[in-house]
Amino acid sequence: MDRFIEERSAERLRAFLTLGDDRKRNWVVAGMLAGVALVVGALLAYLTPIGGVAVIAACVGALLILRDVRWGLFALLAIACVLPFASLPFRIGFTPTFLDLVLGALYAVWAMRLITRHQDDFVLTPLGLPVLVFVALAVFSFVAGLSHSRPSSNDLRTFAEVLLGFGLFFLAVNQVRDESLLRQVTGAAILAGGAEAVIGVLLYAVPKTWAVRFLSPLGRLGYPVGLGALRYINDDPGRPMRAIGTNIDPNILGALLVIVMALAVTQMFARRPVLPRTWVALCAGFMGVCVFLTYSRSSMLGVVVAAGLVAMLRYRRLLVLLAVVGALVLLLPLTQAYVSHLVQGVLIEDRSTQMRMGEYQDFFKLIRRYPWIGVGFVGAPDVDLYVAVASIYFALAAQMGIVGLAAFLLVAAVYLVYLFRALRALPADSPWEPFVLGYGAAVSGSLVSGFLDHTLLTYPHAVALFWLVLGLGAASGHMALQGAKERLQGRASGNGSHFVDKNGTCTCTEN
**The predicted structure's pLDDT at residue 443:** 94
Higher pLDDT, 5 or 179: 179
Q: Which residues of 373-391 are buried (b: 16+ CB within 10 A; e: fewer)?
A: bbbbbbbbeeeebebebbb
Per-residue pLDDT tens digits for 158-173:
888 899 999 999 999 9
> CA 499, CA 351: separation in Å to the nearest integer?
61
- Ranked by mean pLDDT, which of 198-202, 346-350, 393-397 comes out on top? 198-202
Per-residue pLDDT tens digits for 120-137:
777 788 898 999 999 999
Which amino acid, one-letter code, is at 414? V
pLDDT over 90, % of the chain: 30
Q: Which residues of 92-128 are buried (b: 16+ CB within 10 A; e: fewer)?
A: eeeebbbbbbbbebbeebbeeeeeeeeeeeebbbebb
Q: Which residues of 419-445 are buried (b: 16+ CB within 10 A; e: fewer)?
A: beebbebbeeebbbbbbbbbbbbbbbb
What value does the mean pLDDT of the chain take? 80
Higher pLDDT, 430 or 127: 127
**The predicted structure's pLDDT at residue 351:** 74
**pLDDT classification of 350: cutoffs 50, 70, 90:** confident
Q: Go through the chain and tell me how many residues it has.
A: 511
For residue 487, pLDDT over 70 is answered with: no
Report how far Cα 5 is from the mean position of its chain's Cα atoms. Answer: 50
**Domain boundaries of the chain, sorted by first residue:** 68-492
Q: DSSP H helical segments within 176-296, as ranges?
A: 179-205, 208-215, 250-269, 277-294
**pLDDT classification of 52: cutoffs 50, 70, 90:** low
**pLDDT classification of 506: cutoffs 50, 70, 90:** very low
CB 436 within 8 A of CB 423: yes
**pLDDT classification of 154: cutoffs 50, 70, 90:** confident
Question: Mean pLDDT across the stretch 133-155?
Answer: 86
HEC sequence for 80-100 = HHHCCCCECCCCCCCCCEHHH
Under 8 Å CB-to-CB from 128, ≥6 apart: which residues? 170, 173
CB 375 within 8 A of CB 385: yes
Question: Mean pLDDT across the stretch 280-294?
Answer: 93
Query: How would you class 466 by CB atoms within 10 Å of its CB: exposed for 0-12, middle for 13-18, buried for 19 or more?
Result: buried
For residue 19, pLDDT over 50 is answered with: no
Among 471, 479, 472, residue whose Cα is nearest residue 431:
479
Lowest-confidence segment of 17-21, 434-438, 439-443, 476-480 by average pLDDT: 17-21
Neighbours of 214 (CB within 10 A): 15
Note the pTM of the prediction, 2 decimals: 0.83
**The predicted structure's pLDDT at residue 27:** 55
For residue 501, pLDDT over 50 is answered with: no
Neighbours of 287 (CB within 10 A): 28
Lowest-confidence segment of 55-59, 96-100, 271-275, 350-354 by average pLDDT: 55-59
